[in-house]
Amino acid sequence: MVEIIVKPGICEKRSEIKASLLDGNPKDPLEGKVKIELISECEGVESFSKEVNEIDVSVLMESDFTENPVYKMADNCLPHSTCPVPCAVLKAMEAEADLALEKNVKIEFKE
């Protein structure tokens, strides 16, 4: 299981993501589904969590943001397009499916 904490910035509504591979194929890591558990202080993210509870690993290969199912679900639930949670869900899936190493991502404002 991969666990991620998202600290979004000014809204301060922390989210926790847990990703667990439900069924996978060792010969083809893009087969299978990932179960996503999302806990958040944000009502929009809580709504989003009901949409993304199980996702096919193959969505990770959607290179077009406008066609990616995770971003489509986020568009229906989240009030701010700059929310980092959808990206974090994809990162958690990617790591859980062994398609990427677990590595922190940062956005920092230069002082």
Long-range contacts of 5-11 (CB under 8 A, 24+ apart): 6/84, 6/85, 6/88, 8/42, 8/83, 8/84, 8/85, 11/42, 11/80
What does the alpha-carbon distance between residue 69 and residue 86 come to, in Å, rounded to a whole number?
Answer: 10
The pTM of the full predicted model, rounded to 2 decimals, is 0.91
pLDDT band at 61 (very low <50, low <70, confident <90, very high): confident
Residue 104 has pLDDT above 70, yes or no: yes
Looking at residue 96, its pLDDT comes to 92
pLDDT digits (tens, 9 = 90+) for 32-53: 899 999 999 999 999 999 999 9
What does the alpha-carbon distance between residue 55 and residue 51 come to, in Å, rounded to a whole number?
Answer: 9
Looking at residue 65, its pLDDT comes to 82
Residue 77 has pLDDT above 70, yes or no: yes
Q: Which is higher by pLDDT, 42 or 66?
A: 42
Cα angle 20, 66, 106 (rounded to 5 degrees) comes to 55
